[in-house]
Chain A
Amino acid sequence: MATDEELMVEFQQGSADAFEEIFQRHREAVYCFFRRRLLDAARAEDLAQETFLAVIHGIARYEPRALVRTYLFGIAFNLLAAERRKRARESRNPAAATEPPLERGPEAVLLVRQAVERLETDEREILMLREYEQLSYVEIAELLHIPLNTVRSRLFRGRMALKSLLTETSAQPEARGLSYTDT
């Protein structure tokens, strides 16, 4: 079976089938990346598509410096940052803001999501990149442009804080709630 890097080279040479194979392999991971960070499922789908569109448009300049997975999450991370900036601007203009749809799901998932939202922003991001996107410390450091030791220390603090939050939440049933925001 061809590796992701070989498929990218084939796509660079013109093989649409190679791109479709890459898409099939990574679409769930990219979609889940956005879905966990955005309430709006439709917007998460749009951004996932934009990620792969960026791969198509940028294939001529592509160089195999890192894993394809890391490359995709790098594009996704930049798109997410742009989306957050756009939402921050819109939040200053109440007339343009739209209400996110109310999320439904198992209580356990909501508890985890609530706890993750309560983490510090940088600790949360690193924790999610590690746990869900399965990026290595080095890949996270390159993606966020921070030193490797910073990744390790923030990941450690994030995990310790989350453990404390999850333990506290499970010990206090009345502290559970359904209010949350985009992470």
Chain B
Amino acid sequence: MYSTHPIDQQEVMAYLDGELPVERAAAVAAHLEQCAECRAAAEGFRFVSHQLLGWQVEPSPTPFPDPLRAALEAKGQAKAEARQKHPLWGGLMSKKPLVRPWVWGLTGIALVALFLLSSIPGGYMRHANAPLVSKLERASAPPSSAYSTSPSGAGVSGSVDQLRNGPQAAVDLAPYQTAEPAIVGSLVGGGTAAPPLQPSGPMIVRTAELALVTREFDKAREAIERTLRQHHGYVGELNVNAPAGAGRTLTATLRVPADEFDAVLGELKTLGHVEQESQAGADVTRLYVDLGARLSNARNTEQRLIDVLRERTGKVADILAVEQEIARVRGEIESMEAEKKSMENRVAFATLQLKLSEEYKAQLEVAPPSGGTRLHNAAVEGYQSAVQTALALVLTLLSAGPTVLLLLLIVFALYCLSRALWRRLRA
């Protein structure tokens, strides 16, 4: 039963039951003020509830049933027996632990220890929230070696083979450094989160496409690899096709440091005839700054949630809700950090789609066969022809033979008959 309204009657029912989110409930409430049909539906629901409330049940007869009292006593007896068997644990499980003096003593010692630990910066909170803080420390740890700053702040190490396996070289990322290690300390010590990312200059993602044709395919391939080595680039992907009767083709995706890109392009263009070239540069500065702002906000939110969790007051359901929210925010943070790293990689390394084609020349026909070969070929063809002819003859006899035989029989019979008649006439 649905109306043409933007709000159907099921939502009206859920609104009356208090089951709608706050924003949706406000929308339904506003709609009800203007829609008589929905107000009538709401009245119908209230009518049903009012009628159902009329079905009252008499109160429970027994204040506290004896079977329950017996079960409680039996449980208490079982605990007393456990206490006799295990004095220490039995004492801890006693009915009224708070009246025992040693419990007060232990509580006092625990409070003093708590106070002393809390006075050590980060010490208590790290222990109290060990699983949560250790997970967050791992998540907010400094980036991997791909983006660790080298002592000189410039230069790259590693061979071409290492580079082919991925961006494992150390690259100067000073413009993009953030205060990530400070986050760990802030979580432990209860300080503020890191400030948003602020690049020092525009962040441009450079891409290019280059198609070359060369006569010396192997030399050109070696030159490509040599150029990459010299300019600290690496091969992201490479494919070589060598079809029969056509030239070889190499397609590759090359990643080159952005500041070496022009030099690499210039060197590659000398390897052959340039059939096609294109370049592009996408400015992702704003995206990067926005991402940094969102990441900073998420970290602030996470910190506030951890503070709430640290208090550990309220219902169990609330605590569970906070923990779920922390997990969700942490997931968002990790996703954004991955996106940030990807963006930084794309800016640091330009991408070149390279196609190298080999200039192909068709081969001349081979020399005609010798006399002996021709005689052999003719003999084979003659034999094949004879076989085919004999086969065709046999097939013809088989298909036409019975008919021919029948005709011959008829002709012979007529001949015999005509001879007999002629003899009679002569006689």
Contact = CB atoms under 8 A, between A and B. Distances in A.
Is A bound to B?
A: yes
Interface of A: 3, 5, 13-16, 19-20, 23, 27-28, 31-32, 35-36, 41, 45, 48-49, 52-53, 56-57, 59, 64, 66-67, 108-109, 112-113, 116, 127, 130-132, 136-137, 152-153, 155-156, 159-160, 162-163, 166
B103 to A, nearest CB: 12
Contact of B316 (A23, A64, A132): A64
A131 B316 contact: no
Contact of A27 (B17, B60, B67, B96): B60
B72 interface: yes
Contact of B56 (A109, A155, A162): A109
B230 to A, nearest CB: 63
Given A131-B49, A131-B52, 4 more contacts: A5-B315, A32-B57, A113-B55, A127-B52
A28 B59 contact: yes
Nearest to B73: A16
Nearest to A158: B48
Interface of B: 1, 9-10, 13-14, 17, 19, 44-45, 47-49, 51-62, 64-65, 67-68, 71-72, 75-76, 79, 93-97, 315-317
Given A3-B315, A132-B52, A14 B9 contact: no
A-side interface mostly: helix
Nearest to A155: B13
A153 B11 CA distance: 10
Contacts of A112: 51-52, 54-55
A23 B51 contact: no
A49 B67 contact: yes
B47 A45 contact: no
Contacts of B95: 14-16
A35 B44 CA distance: 26
9 contacts: A14-B76, A14-B93, A36-B57, A49-B65, A116-B52, A131-B53, A137-B19, A153-B10, A156-B1
A-B residue pairs, 3 tightest by C-beta: A31-B60, A35-B57, A32-B57
Nearest to B11: A152
Contacts of B10: 152-153, 156
Contacts of B67: 49, 53
A15 B96 CA distance: 8
Contacts of A162: 48, 51-52
Contact of A109 (B55, B64, B65, B96): B55
Nearest to A49: B65
Nearest to B19: A137
Contact of A49 (B49, B56, B68): B68
A53 B75 CA distance: 11
Contacts of B58: 35, 41
A53 to B, nearest CB: 6
B44 A163 contact: yes
A20 B13 CA distance: 37
A3 B47 CA distance: 33
A166 B51 contact: yes
Contacts of A14: 76, 79, 93-95
A19 B60 contact: no
A137 B188 CA distance: 40
A56 B75 contact: yes
A5 B57 contact: no
Nearest to B92: A13
Nearest to B66: A49
Contacts of B94: 14
Contact of A45 (B45, B61, B75): B61
Nearest to A53: B71
Contacts of B53: 131
Contacts of A19: 72
B93 A53 contact: no
A158 to B, nearest CB: 9
A7 to B, nearest CB: 13
Nearest to B76: A16
B113 to A, nearest CB: 23
Nearest to A112: B55
Contacts of A27: 60
A56 B13 contact: no
A116 B60 CA distance: 22
Contacts of B62: 45
B71 A57 contact: yes
B60 A156 contact: no
A45 B60 contact: yes
B319 to A, nearest CB: 10
Nearest to A113: B55
B1 A109 contact: no
A66 B71 CA distance: 24
A11 to B, nearest CB: 9
Nearest to B95: A14
A80 to B, nearest CB: 15
A71 B49 CA distance: 24
Nearest to B74: A56
A79 B6 CA distance: 42
Nearest to A109: B55
A31 B57 contact: yes
A56 B72 contact: yes
Contacts of B54: 108-109, 112
